[in-house]
Structure 1
Amino acid sequence: MIKHIFSDMDGTLLNQHGKVSPGNTTAIQQAGIPFTLVSARSPRQMLEAIQTLKLTAPQIGFNGGVIYQVKAGQLQVIEDAPIAFEVVKQVVDLMEAHFPDTGFSLFGLTDWQVTHMDDGIAFFQEDMPQKPTVLDPVFWEQPEPIYKITFCVLKHDVMDGIVKLLQAAKLPGVAMQKSSDIYLDITAIAAKKSRGVNYIAKREQLDLSETAAFGDGPNDIPMLKLVGMPIVMGNGLPEVKQVARYLTADNAHDGVGRGIEKFVLGE
């Protein structure tokens, strides 16, 4: 019997318009099983979906960088793995020295700060629920935890140069991952979706065989391999489908909701 469901957001729970569909909403709420979003998004970016679904279980943001709950509209951190302050400063200094015209983002628990505005930041904010603030020099005197550094760079040669620069720097304790040709994320190496799932399962004294997960992309594979019932979306990549116990409909056709009704509740 499945006692907890975990789900990726983009390409999985969210439809082609970036929303939770009425069909998914109904299925999740009627199932009555604790439901956790597991996303690279910040908690602020996840809030609309949490409120739509009226979720009360712990949630996983920044790919496992923070585990938190929303209570009375407030974020309460349960466990986190921020990037070391020294590494954040090192990235900022490297960029100022080698790519001073390129802005990039620093994500805290609720704040989105940018080194400066440029065309990449302008493009990035089109899909964001908040506007960024320019990093204040005071930040370095009273730093707050930074969970993700994101580069949105529209010029491919510039992005290639940034990747080579950061790889050569051998930044300690972090992982770098490109999600597309124009996006690069840096998180703490401990920030993994599977780590978040494992943490919540232990916290709730669940056997992993009692958990299910939905995903579509390569960064979902460790999470899918961890749970007892891995369910992959119809739009999932071939290598992700190979780890599935079940395949469901795509994200444009209520794949999560249908998977819950057919597989999670159907067993």
Structure 2
Amino acid sequence: MIKHIFSDMDGTLLTSDGKITKETIEAITETKIETTLVSARAPIEMKWATDVLGVSKYQVSFNGGLVIRYENDEEITLFEKYIDPQIVLDIFLDVRKKLPNISINLYGKTEWLTDREDSGVEHQRKVTGRKPTICDIRKVLVQEPLNVFKITMVTFNSLELEVLEEMFTLLAISGINAHQTSPYHFEITHAEAIKSNGVQQVLNELQLTSDNIMVIGDGDNDIPMLKLSKYPVAMGNAKDHVKEIACFVTKTNDENGVAHSFKALLK
């Protein structure tokens, strides 16, 4: 019996233009089953969606690197895994030296830091609706403690993304996950920042098992949490290897896929 639903945001809950459709809102708000959003986004970038849907009790952000429970006006951190500060500094200096044109963005719990305005920053601003703090990142990281949960590099040059993949494969840095997450993004998180780890924290809180949850996703970073669930749902826009894991393949994110899966599986 499904007692809790976990849904990815980008490519799943959100349409291609970053909206939540009326049909999806109705499907989630009308169900009696609690829903938790799971995303690579920062908590502040998820809040508008949790508010619209009325699903603000738990929040799994930074690919599972930060799990928060909201109770009244109190924010309780259940789990957090940020990148070692020295590793953050080393990565920033190394990438800036070898690939000077790449946009480098550092995300703390509430902070977004970058060292300049560029096309990648503008892209991130449009996606998240936020404004970054532009600063001397090296100076900030050396002088001030900052818990960085995610490093996002943005480039519209596919060759640069290939170089990043090769660079981090060769570096084999312990304690991080580093991989391309979209045609324009390369992201780095703590090694334990995995969506299934974040979901498991909520399950532990609620004393539920994987047999009691439905998970909906579309991307490679959703695979661990899809495998965790007895009822994994893949979006119609997911790649074939993601769909192979699912017990049900719904419509695409632009065709109310989340709402369609609710109608099909929550009868």
TM over 0.5: yes
The counterpart of 2:192, out of the listed 190, 199, 202, is 190
Deviation at 1:213, TM superposition (A): 0.7
2:157 matched to which residue of 1? 155
1:237 matched to which residue of 2? 239
TM-score by length of 1: 0.91
| Equivalence map 1:30-41=2 (5 Å) | 30-41=30-41
**Distance in 1 between residues matched to 2:202 and 2:37, nearest whole Å:** 12
Quick check: 1:12–1:256 contact (8 Å CA) kept in 2? Answer: yes
| 1:165–1:73 CA distance, 2 compared to 1 (3 A) | farther
* SS of aligned partner of 1:116: coil
Q: Give the paired residue count.
A: 265
**Distance in 2 between residues matched to 1:171 and 1:98, nearest whole Å:** 17
* SS of aligned partner of 2:232: strand
1:226 matches 2:266: no
2:178 matched to which residue of 1? 176
| 1:191–1:99 CA distance, 2 compared to 1 (3 A) | same
Quick check: 1:19–1:49 contact (8 Å CA) kept in 2? Answer: no
TM-score by length of 2: 0.91
Name the % identity.
32
Range with greater deviation from structure 2 (105-114 or 213-222): 213-222
1:28 matches 2:28: yes
Range with greater deviation from structure 2 (173-182 or 96-105): 96-105
Deviation at 1:88, TM superposition (A): 0.6
Residue type at the aligned position of 1:32? K
Deviation at 1:12, TM superposition (A): 1.0
2:57 matched to which residue of 1? 57
1:199 matched to which residue of 2? 201
Quick check: 1:175–1:189 contact (8 Å CA) kept in 2? Answer: yes
Quick check: 2:217–2:235 contact (8 Å CA) kept in 1? Answer: yes
1:88 matches 2:88: yes
| 1:242–1:100 CA distance, 2 compared to 1 (3 A) | closer
Long gaps (5+) in structure 2: none
Residue type at the aligned position of 1:17? D
**Distance in 2 between residues matched to 1:263 and 1:198, nearest whole Å:** 22
Long gaps (5+) in structure 1: none
| 1:244–1:166 CA distance, 2 compared to 1 (3 A) | closer
| 1:149–1:262 CA distance, 2 compared to 1 (3 A) | same
Residues 96-118 of structure 1, C-alpha deviation per residue, up to 9 Å, x if partnerless? 43344544000001111012222
Quick check: 1:56–1:71 contact (8 Å CA) kept in 2? Answer: no
1:134 matches 2:134: yes
Runs (4 or more) in structure 1 with deviation over 6 Å come to: none
1:47 matched to which residue of 2? 47
1:2 matched to which residue of 2? 2
RMSD of aligned Cα (Å): 2.0
1:250 matched to which residue of 2? 252
**Distance in 2 between residues matched to 1:158 and 1:242, nearest whole Å:** 30
